A and B are shown apart, each in its own frame.
Chain A
Amino acid sequence: MLVGLAILLVLALLPLARPSTYFLGFMLILFMYAALASSWNILGGFTGYLSFGHAAFFGLGAYTTALLLFYLKWSPFWTMPLGGLVAAVFAALVGYPCLRLRGPYFSLVTLILTLAVSIIILNAPWTKGAFGMFLPFPPVDIFTNHVIFYEVMLALMVLAALVARQIERSKLGMGLAAIRENEDVAQTLGVNVTWLKMEVFLISAFLTGMIGGIYSYYISYLHPSFVFDTLISINIVLMALFGGRLTWLGPLLGASILSVVNEILTLQVEAQLARIVFGLLLIGVIIFLPDGIMAAAAPFIRRLLGQSRRRLRPSSG
């Protein structure tokens, strides 16, 4: 807990050291993916319903705030919850039929939904379709601009992680774990599985939409192929799985490590080759560490913490 707060404080104050805009840009995308992976994990990790369609929520959030900015000059900084809301409404519409499907069928349908939404947005008259939308910049210099988005993404990451953490330790979290273990048995124990799945589907979609809502402002040029990108969905899933989907901390860890690895590979090695190396790495982890590196590292971390902070033992962090 203390370690977490300390890390958070350092991250929040980091811009005071005037790092390069490149560095801030890299970090804020890392935060974004950590936030996305955490949001995804509330559904995918806790219930075992692996959505491959979170780009749909991300994109809907992005377009919501972009349209409000473009036509009404409303700032995404305060309309981003509306982005979340639109994503959640969409989730509510598709959730009931989708969440009746189990395993790969659910994953497949969420994947297809993203494509469908993307095509609709592409052909809608007011989204500028294939031309894309140019959005106005916030009226500040490039460094300040990056600092602002850096802090906002950091805040969203903290929000998503806190929501995930809260759910994990609650009655809801135990119900979700029962669903992940065995949905039929969960029902015979009184768990309203339909409602619980729906609840976290909406929460997950809302957070994801909100993150998308701020991303569009950051990139300032919006095209369906940018935000309704299946690669985003897949990245989110892989980061959460890589880190470990059983706890709230796993996705944060997965997103952080993979973002760094990806950046190094892209800079040091050729981008195409980087992607191959990256892919192989992921396949390896998924085969050999199915519960992610968190589960594999847990005994080690516990030993480390047990020795250095014995007095903090209760209220496991």
Chain B
Amino acid sequence: MLRGQQVTKRFGGLTALNRVDFAIEPGQIVGLIGPNGSGKTTLFNVITGFYRPEEGRILFDGHDITGARPHIVARMGIGRTFQIVQPFQNMTALENVEIGVLYGQGLSHGSESQARAQELLDLVGLGHQRHTPVRNFTLAEKKRLEIARALSVRPRLLLLDEVFAGLNPGEVKQAIELIFHIRRELGLTLLIVEHVLGALRDTCERVIVLNYGQKIAEGPPEEVFNHPEVIAAYLGSNETH
């Protein structure tokens, strides 16, 4: 479904991604981990068209989307969340989600578009808060909204950037349940960036590990988490499980 070939992205002298190869098959849940600054968000930005890689290609369902503009990538069926939640503060929850329904799915503004936005809010458990101005939401609610909004373009592939960060253990558990629920309902393929390794252990079938922009390991979570190079990378950056 999504393939990256030799993807390289540099910022001046810094190589944020170094010849990264990856492949995600339809229906999979894949984790993307790595210490701070290892290039996870940069990879998301390359996939979604915010950055054009200096080398390599990104293929989505066989189409070359390298350097395609973000709104095109979104309309093709890739939804994403942002590491730092960025709701449209001055809009209601419903309006936040309706934007993607209008522009991602190409509907015109009306009862149909609002109904679709409402469905997504219901799906993430915010249905009753549709008219609440988003600035009054808690962090956990903002993260749910962020997911609903990513779904509003009707993606087939969903990229989640640290959706569990900042949540307490109970909320993390709920968020994981939500993601499984969504996946069942919508039949999505998922690529999840995470820092909290525990959260991925129970969620992903396969994990890709980045370190200094290079892919250093890939495989089932248990295997990868015991990989010496991965342990070294995490110890070296003072990360704990």
Judge whether B91 and A177 touch: CB under 8 Å.
yes
Judge whether A191 and B103 touch: CB under 8 Å.
yes
Contacts of B90 in A (CB 8 A): 177, 181, 246
Contacts of B70 in A (CB 8 A): 184, 187-188
Partner of B152, one of A174, A189, A246: A189
Judge whether A175 and B103 touch: CB under 8 Å.
yes
Report the minimal beta-carbon distance from A142 to chain B, rounded to whole angstroms: 48
Judge whether A186 and B50 touch: CB under 8 Å.
no
Tell me, yes or no, whether B89 is within 8 Å of chain A by CB: yes
Judge whether A182 and B86 touch: CB under 8 Å.
yes
Tell me, yes or no, whether A111 is within 8 Å of chain B by CB: no
Closest to A178 in B: B99
Tell me, yes or no, whether B102 is within 8 Å of chain A by CB: yes
Judge whether B80 and A186 touch: CB under 8 Å.
no
Number of CB contacts from chain A to chain B under 8 A? 78
Judge whether B86 and A189 touch: CB under 8 Å.
no
Interface residues of B in 146-164 (CB under 8 A from A): 149-150, 152-153
Tell me, yes or no, whether A171 is within 8 Å of chain B by CB: yes
A28 to B70, CA, bound (A): 45
Contacts of A272 in B (CB 8 A): none
Report the minimal beta-carbon distance from B85 to chain A, rounded to whole angstroms: 10
Tell me, yes or no, whether B95 is within 8 Å of chain A by CB: yes
Judge whether A191 and B71 touch: CB under 8 Å.
yes
Given known A-B contacts A190-B71, A190-B74, A185 and B103 have beta carbons under 8 A apart = no
Judge whether B108 and A189 touch: CB under 8 Å.
no
Judge whether A190 and B88 touch: CB under 8 Å.
no
Partner of A188, one of B79, B95, B102: B79
Contacts of A189 in B (CB 8 A): 71, 74, 99-100, 103-104, 149, 152-153
A194 to B149, CA, bound (A): 21
Tell me, yes or no, whether B82 is within 8 Å of chain A by CB: yes
Closest to B76 in A: A190
Closest to B109 in A: A171
Closest to A191 in B: B103
Partner of B99, one of A184, A191, A192, A246: A191
A175 to B86, CA, bound (A): 16
A170 to B75, CA, bound (A): 20
Contacts of A182 in B (CB 8 A): 86, 88
Report the minimal beta-carbon distance from B110 to chain A, rounded to whole angstroms: 9
A-B contact list, 24 entries, CB within 8 Å = A170-B109, A171-B102, A171-B108, A171-B109, A174-B95, A174-B99, A177-B91, A178-B88, A181-B89, A182-B86, A182-B88, A184-B50, A184-B70, A186-B99, A187-B49, A187-B70, A188-B70, A189-B152, A189-B153, A190-B74, A190-B104, A190-B106, A191-B103, A192-B71
- Enumerate the 10 nearest inter-chain pairs by beta-carbon distance, A residue then B residue, closest first: A190-B104, A187-B70, A189-B100, A190-B103, A181-B88, A171-B109, A190-B74, A191-B103, A178-B99, A192-B71
- Which residues of chain B have a CB within 8 Å of any CB of chain A? 48-50, 69-71, 74-75, 79-80, 82, 86, 88-91, 95, 98-100, 102-106, 108-109, 149-150, 152-153
Given contacts A184-B50, A184-B86, A246-B90, 9 further A-B contacts (CB under 8 A): A174-B102, A181-B91, A187-B69, A188-B80, A188-B153, A189-B149, A191-B71, A191-B99, A192-B69
